[in-house]
Amino acid sequence: MGHIRLGRLPKRKNWIQVCELLSSESINSQALAVSISKAAQNSLLRDENQRGLFQTVRYLIRLVQASRTEDFSGALKDIGIVFDQEESGMVLLGHILEKIKDDIHQNKGNSHLDSIASTAFQETLTKTIHQYAQTLFGCSIEDVRSAFKRYSSKNKFGEIARLLFSTYLTRIFQYTIDRAISENVGVGKKFNDVNSVLEFQKAIKTYCWDISKIVEEYSGGWYSKHEWEGTLSDAEIKRFTSYALKKLLSEINEDR
């Protein structure tokens, strides 16, 4: 997880069960995801711990909205993102990421979850632009605008929202595993080496993508309705973020 400092998991019942599952011979990505979700749910759903995620969803929506305007530069300036028209699309992405990190930092929520939300947002933006422009280093500002405009429809917004939420959840699960897995790696243990850990984390990522289909279905309809009504306020986006995360965690906890 890069700059995030790792430590041991809390010594509470649900987290002890996560550690026990990590050392079990019968471990699988679905079972571990359910276990971590149950252990972390109360913390993740606290309002103060959703500030980073809310900011990422808010900026994602504002970027999509800005892409539909004739004055893309002016629309971005209205949300605090200022750039030179002669700059590359890659530099613009840098300005966007710097702005959201500043906003997340100012809100002073949970530092670990804020860092995870910021990383998930960066990964979502990178994939979004790369899929459209084929290359990040050669993309233009118009490429960035066109890429976001593609996600301004009901179905397409559902896709990009799903990518953000699944990446956020994947990062949380991987962060949790990183904190507890060291004692389970080595000859004769659950994970023989680092490669086997990476394979397991890849399975976790696939699981998160699959289970987040429910967010895609909900997000598309929600965005289409409120965009048409002109009611995509920060307060409404905050409600959406909280409900979508709760819906996703509930789906995991019910998955068997």
Q: How many CB atoms lie within 10 A of CB 256?
A: 6
pLDDT at 13: 45
Query: Which residue(s) pair with 185 in the sheet?
Result: 191
Reduce the DSSP state of residue 51 to 3 states and report it: helix
- What mean pLDDT is predicted for residues 25-45? 72
- What mean pLDDT is predicted for residues 15-37? 63
- What mean pLDDT is predicted for residues 19-27? 59
Report the C-alpha gap between 65 and 105 in whole angstroms. 24
Whole-number Cα distances in Å, 181 to 61, 137, 227: 36, 36, 44
The DSSP symbol for 10 reads: P
What mean pLDDT is reported for the chain? Answer: 81
Confidence tier at 229 by pLDDT (50, 70, 90): very high
Report the C-alpha gap between 99 and 56 in whole angstroms. 11
Q: Determine whether 156 is exposed, middle or buried from the number of CB atoms within 10 Å of its CB (0-12, 13-18, 19+).
A: middle
- What mean pLDDT is predicted for residues 183-192? 71
Residue with tokens 């905050």: 238
Q: Would the pLDDT of 2 be above 90?
A: no
Q: How many CB atoms lie within 10 A of CB 99?
A: 17
What is the enclosing helix (H) or strand (E) of 211? helix 194-211
58-103 per-position pLDDT tens digit: 999 999 999 999 999 999 999 999 988 888 888 999 999 999 988 8
Q: Would the pLDDT of 207 be above 80?
A: yes
Amino acid 197 reads V
- 0.75 surpassed by pTM: yes
The dihedral sign for the CA sequence 6, 12, 14, 20: positive
Q: What is the DSSP string of 136-193?
A: STT--HHHHHHHHHTT-SHHHHHHHHHHHHHHHHHHHHHHHHHHH-GGGBSTTSSB-S
First to last CA, the chain: 28
Q: How many CB atoms lie within 10 A of CB 121?
A: 25
Residue 172 gets the label, from left (phi > 0), alpha (psi -120 to 50) or beta, of alpha
Q: Does residue 175 contact residue 1 with C-beta atoms inside 8 Å? A: yes
Report the C-alpha gap between 77 and 55 in whole angstroms. 17
